[in-house]
Amino acid sequence: MEAHDAMTDPALDEGAAPAEAPRSLADELEADRKSMASERVPLELELPGYGSKLVAKYRVLDGDELEKLSERQRKMSLSHDKKAVLKSMCDTIIAACVGFFTTRDGDLVPLEDAMPELGVEGPIRYDRNLARALRIEMDENPTARSILVDAFGNGENVELLILAHYRDLDQWMGAANVTDDQRL
């Protein structure tokens, strides 16, 4: 057995913190889950095709909001709407959006600040202001869904792009803290 010198072994020093016990993978995963849930920092997602020029920030929807969205999808499905699931994904994306941003000098800047010519006060969401910023031709009364679809390119693969964006948002929201009364 090797002799230890109290001067070189921190475990023998008075007042030294005890050595941390090895952590299990379960401990590490639990800490990561709690960290994600406690942060609740808005999720930043680039819109497909725009890169950092167009970044949407999203928030976690609460239980009541998710219930309303689910009820809306159920009604669309009962009416045999073939696009009910896609529309529901769009509605979730729209409801969770807190605003659009663009990168300037490495920082995210609200789109309304980066484009003062729009004359917009407050955040730009999936609305007429986003359509104006993207120069999307719109009907007289465009819906948020139609603006979202046009913002995603409204091409052949738009449904796949929306699905991928929704999947990222949904996975992030799923990792958020869930209170005991919201657990399944």
Beta strands in the chain (DSSP E): 43-46, 55-58, 97-104, 107-110
Question: At 177, which helix (H) or strand (E)?
Answer: none
Cα gap 159→81, rounded to integer Å: 15
Q: What is the pLDDT of residue 20?
A: 63
Query: In tens digits, what is the pLDDT along the chain, a chain of 184 residues?
Result: 444 444 444 444 455 555 566 688 887 777 766 665 545 689 999 999 999 999 999 999 988 999 999 999 999 888 998 999 999 999 999 999 999 999 999 999 999 999 999 999 999 999 999 999 999 999 889 999 999 999 999 888 999 999 999 999 999 998 864 544 454 4
Q: What is the pLDDT of residue 180?
A: 40
For 58-66, the CB contacts below 8 A with 24+ separation are 58/93, 58/96, 58/97, 58/98, 58/169, 58/172, 58/173, 59/96, 59/98, 60/96, 60/172, 60/173, 60/176, 61/92, 61/95, 61/96, 61/173, 63/182, 65/95
Q: Could you tell me the sign of the dihedral formed by the alpha carbons of 35, 37, 41, 46, in that order?
A: positive
Residue 43 β-bridge partners: 58
pTM to 2 decimals? 0.74
